[in-house]
A and B are shown apart, each in its own frame.
Chain A
Amino acid sequence: MIVAVTDYLRQDKLPHLWCGGCSHGVVVGAVARVLAGLGIPVDKTVITTGIGCFGKADDYFATHALHGTHGRALAFASGVKAVSDDLTVLALMGDGDAATIGGNHLIHAARRNMDITAIVSNNNNYGMTGGQYSATTPSGKKTSTSRYGNPETDFDLCSLVVGAGGGFVARTTPFHVRAMEKLIAEAISYRGFSFVEVVSCCPTYYGRYNREGGAVAMVASIKERAMSKEKFNLLPLEAKPGYFPMGKLHLEEKIDFNTRYREVQQKAQDSHRES
């Protein structure tokens, strides 16, 4: 059966609700094209989301969906995956969802190595609630709750997930759409917890508060600051701030939770029979 990208998107829900210049729609488009490209049936795909602007992403997919609570997408997804190995499970999250209120679920999903693909559209603030700072707002940046500059330090999400045990970790941007598709496709095909961070932009809040000059200027700046891991590693330490590595940052074969759990079931059944 030939599948088209339109099979995965709910045409009747378009145009989407996001502001002009927001990156979230770019990510949704990429995910839909990847699902079509991989030919994963819509009824074998489950999309879980949290709450936020990107938390609305599930509305646009003609797949199964679980629109839960802020930050909990991965916790819902973990229950889905644990009992349905045959389903492709994606958790689409904002930076508030994934890194801030849901940070605990993120590190544990990575550690537990559930076969879930987590995609974070990181726009460095809480878009939905009016542009407050999140755990990925860089130090010193202005938001609606850090008018004098953010006194906190931001997370490097990819490093966080690598540290937590994630086997597939990648970063991409809304400028590099083809690369984004390739990385998402690889993430979905990877057996185990896979993580893709999209360095997104929120021209409406973060961009305005920090006078970043609109969506085009923001995407141009993201493009300027993105480089390969190799190139980034060669930068002297003092030159690194502001720049970030993109592409596949970490790949490691690891046995996923469900495979491990099948061993548990086997052992349990063997010992049950003996007793």
Chain B
Amino acid sequence: MVQSEVKFISGNEACAEGAFYAQARFYAGYPITPSSEIAQIASERLPTLGGCYVQMEDEIASIAAIIGASCCGVKSFTATSGPGFSLMQENLGVAIMGEVPCVIINVQRSGPSTGLATSPAQADIMQCRWGTHGDHAIIALTPSSVQECYELTIRAFNLSEKYRSPVVILSDKTVAQMREKVILFTPGEVELLERKKPTGSPGEYLSFRPDDDGIPPMASFGDPHLLRITSSTHNEQGFTDDDPSNAFTLIRRLYDKIEDNADDITQIKTYFMEDAETTFITFGITARAALNAVHKLREEGNKVGLINLLTMWPFPACKIKEAVANCRSLLVPEMNLGQLVREVERACCAKEVHSYTKSNGKNIFPGEIIQAWRDSL
């Protein structure tokens, strides 16, 4: 049996390792701190794997290029941070509308704009959800450790292939640049998903005709089945169609194929929830501080628990509701002025919800969460 490899690496390196494990073979990007290590590793490793790294002229072009490469059947990814993620919003919409699998790693940093270059923040939650215009759904995963960077990147590729959708990894500067032990999977240890390919004859193939699961099989450029990818509202053939009922059917399907599968897509990790009276709900690096706070408070005999969101979008509302069913109150610490707390309030409107926010380029420390908890009593 092949032994698992244990490494001591950063979150960014782990994302890159996860991408290679998932068989990603194309990266296009534009360097930006604190994501650049991913580009550097991709440029070094992809050519050894027969893959390709291209440094594009900007992030608009970077995401365009990974969409183009993915249309050829090659698993593709890019990495960036705030300013670059802003530029990617235009073509993130193309990946959504054209149903092109790809993975975008956004290592969050402080903003708006250039912000405190480059201090940590978790303030792209809503940009990630709604940054590209129009009604749409998105999948976004939020790692809080180096191990999760690795595992969630593999999962991101699996979800993107399964749902024919872009997937965002919403990492953060601290998780991305800290080093921890990771256990890398052996080949075959994790199932890798591939997009559905057309099974019928080339003549019958329609690029956007969904199966019963709402997801259309995807041919690749170069296949005898002609693939037509378009950013315009389209019919099943992939031609512009402005008929209102067609438009609604399409928008609805693109939305539902993600939101209706929230149970399959979303993951939360819970800690000490059996008897918790107050639950901390958070994600990313703040979940690490919160876990430390929970340990300390438990030592003092306080009944607190933690939910670490591994999925931000679709919002794991059902899983959270179920987990906090017996809790009296919730406390949401986050490194922004209060983005996650609104979603928690929406999901758990019957609960007492407290917010602890910090938006000054500094991480939230366990002591602050403990204090916020005391203040909420």
- CB of B227 within 8 A of CB of A72, answer no
- The distance in angstroms between the C-alpha atoms of A59 and B262, with both chains bound, is 35
> Are B47 and A268 touching (Cβ within 8 A)?
yes
Interface presence of B353 (CB below 8 A): no
Query: Whole-angstrom distance from the CB of B218 to the nearest CB of chain A?
Result: 12
Q: Report the count of interface residues on B (CB-CB < 8 A).
A: 47
Are B28 and A79 touching (Cβ within 8 A)? Answer: yes
Asked if A46 and B91 make an inter-chain contact with CB atoms under 8 angstroms apart, the answer reads no
Residues of B contacting A: mostly: mixed
Let me know if B56 and A269 touch, CB within 8 A.
Answer: no
Interchain CA distance A80-B100 in the complex, whole Å: 13
Q: Does B183 contact A (CB under 8 A)?
A: no
Q: What residues of B have a CB within 8 angstroms of the CB of A56 in the complex?
A: 240
A56 to B54, CA, bound (A): 28
* Cross-chain pair count, CB within 8 angstroms: 143
Instruction: List chain A residues, Cβ under 8 A from B202.
Output: 43
A136 vs B230: C-alpha distance when bound (angstroms): 27
Shortest distance between the CB of A72 and any CB in chain B (Å): 5
- How many chain A residues have a CB neighbour from B under 8 Å? 43
- Write out, one digit per residue, whether chain A residues 205-231 have a CB within 8 A of any chain B CB (1) or not (0): 000000000000000000000000000
B226–A64 touching, CB < 8 Å: yes
Assembly CA distance A6 to B68 (angstroms): 26
A80-B72 in contact given A72-B91, A105-B57, A108-B61 (Cβ < 8 Å): yes
B112 in contact (CB, < 8 A): no
Q: Which residues of B contact A (CB under 8 A)?
A: 25-26, 28, 44, 47-48, 50, 52, 54, 56-58, 60-62, 64-72, 74, 76, 90-91, 93-94, 98, 202, 221-232, 238-240
- List the 5 closest A-B pairs by CB distance, nearest first: A79-B68, A79-B65, A75-B64, A268-B47, A75-B61
> Chain A residues in contact with chain B, CB under 8 A?
13, 42-44, 46, 48, 51, 56, 58-59, 62-69, 72, 75-84, 86-87, 104-105, 108, 112, 257, 261, 264-265, 267-269, 272
- 18 example contacts (A-B, Cβ-Cβ < 8 A) are as follows A43-B225, A64-B221, A68-B64, A75-B64, A75-B68, A77-B68, A78-B28, A78-B54, A79-B28, A79-B66, A83-B26, A83-B74, A86-B222, A105-B57, A108-B56, A257-B54, A269-B48, A272-B48
